[in-house]
Amino acid sequence: MKLYYLILLCLLLALSGGSSLAQPHFPLRVSDDRRYLVDAQNRPFLVHGESSWEIVWMLSNEETSDYFAKRAAQGFNATLFNILPDSHDPHTKNRAGDEPFQNPLDFTTANDAYFDHVEWVVAEAGHHGLAAFIFPCYLGIDDSWIDELHANGVVKAAAYGKFLAERFGKYPNILWILGGDRDPEYAMDEQMALAQAIHQYDPDHLITFHGREHSSADLFHNEEWLGFNLTYSYGETYSQCHQDWHRILVKPTLMGESGYEREANDWRYGTPQRMRRQFYWALLAGSCGHFYGTDFWDQKPGWRESLDWPGARHMKIAKQFFDALPWQMLVPEFEKKLIIEGNGDYGSNDDYMTAAATPDLRVAVLYMPVARHLGLDLSFYPGPVRARWFDPTTGVFQESLQLENKKYVQWGERISPPARDCDSDWLLILETTWH
């Protein structure tokens, strides 16, 4: 069967909701080429995450089950959350009235009742097929737990890491995220002790780091405990992914956080179009996945309604689109061999096109965030190329075009996307029709 028809069949199955993709088998590990994650059966695992940050202490068991069930039904396969409350008050209690520590200045005084509930949340996420990316000690945008971590010192930080590793290492669906919205700064020694202890006593689960708005590679790329990189940016999500791709010691990079839906933390606001742009930019820039979030990341009243916002629906379409492709084989197109006109401005506007292709060029995917005429160079192909526009808001393909193996740059031969009533972002997929 020609590759085109195989891809078309997979896309039709996935986008119709009839995908037969098997549930992942945890734990996750790094692929042999060190570019993405695979499950325990060595199947590529495209991280499609959502951010439930404060679910451990804000929601009841019943609410947590409802939350995870909804997200799993929407196609998400991962969630991230803090073990310890994200609060200026270290005595914050969960819904059952339990605090994490008897004395927050002593991490060896863990409250078993509190951590029993954390274990339940991790297990419940796994029950719904979700990988649980968990923060052992959220450092905080302001001061949160960084002061307590520093006050505990290196010995107790390491003891806390050992405690967590031995308690949670039995859950196959976990991955560890150190940090949390902040670099370690004056608590660097304690942060390192915590990371090294988790890695020593739970070597079977991957660890990464979430700091300020940059890649974990800027601080810890060469550390043995850092299994993969995580990028965090409110700017163009492709930029940090591109940087991580080029690092000499190859490690997967994951787009861990950018703008959240309906959260006005920068001038672009959290529109559904922005959610799509962040996802496709990152995936076509070499990221092994992406995390989506909403303004209700803190599980405040109204969280149920936020689960049905348009961005989540568009994320499901995005995941299904990539599931039907050999996404793990896509290599970012840095030289812009395909796009010779209409590429947009790198790093300065929201119009830049990212593109990636398999090494044999049998499949290429281009994301156009703003509609315009596009010049392509297909002259290096030995035969015709099939092109289709994909609407990321509906999951619908337009009728395919057969393009000759030549340059499309003159006005009458430029390629243009169809018109749409709202927004103007499109994906263009190119597939070879020759053997």
pLDDT in tens, 110-126: 999 999 999 999 999 99
Q: For residue 9, is pLDDT > 60?
A: no
DSSP string, 196-255: HHHHHH-TTS-EEEE-SSSBTHHHHTT-TT--SEEEE-SS-HHHHHHHHHT-SS---EEE
| 17 vs 230, more confident | 230
Residue 88's pLDDT band (cuts 50, 70, 90): confident
Q: For residue 335, is pLDDT > 90?
A: no
pLDDT mean over 420-424:
85
Residue of 245, 250, 238 whose CA lies nearest to 354 = 238
Give the residue range(s) of CATH 3.20.20.80 domains in the chain.
21-323
For residue 85, the tally of other CB atoms under 10 A from its CB is: 22
Residue 255's pLDDT band (cuts 50, 70, 90): very high
Give the Å distances, CA to CA, from 73 to 77, 247, 324, 361, 406: 9, 36, 18, 33, 44
- Percent pLDDT > 90 in the chain is 84
Rounded Cα distance, 376 and 359, in Å: 18
Q: Give me the pLDDT at residue 2, please.
A: 42
Rounded Cα distance, 423 and 425, in Å: 6
pLDDT mean over 23-37:
96
| Structure letter (DSSP) for residue 294 | B
Give the residue range(s) of CATH 2.60.40 domains in the chain.
334-432
- Sign of the alpha-carbon dihedral angle for 67, 69, 73, 76: positive
Instruction: List, for residues 273-303, the tens digit of each pLDDT value.
Output: 999 999 999 999 999 999 999 999 999 999 9
Question: Which CATH homologous superfamily contains domain 21-323?
Answer: Glycosidases (3.20.20.80)
Q: Which CATH number fits domain 334-432: 2.40.50, 2.30.30, 2.60.40, 2.50.20?
A: 2.60.40
The pTM assigned to this predicted structure is 0.93
| Structure letter (DSSP) for residue 25 | -
Q: For residue 15, is pLDDT > 50?
A: no
Q: Give me the pLDDT at residue 21, please.
A: 55
pLDDT mean over 67-91:
93
**Helix, strand, coil % over all residues of the chain, rounded to 5:** 30, 20, 50
Instruction: List, for residues 144-198, the tens digit of each pLDDT value.
Output: 899 999 999 999 999 999 999 999 999 999 999 999 999 999 999 999 999 999 9
Q: At what angle do helices 146-168 and 112-127 cross, to 10 degrees?
A: 60
Instruction: List, for residues 379-398, the tens digit of each pLDDT value.
Output: 999 999 999 999 999 999 99
Q: Give me the pLDDT at residue 435, please.
A: 53
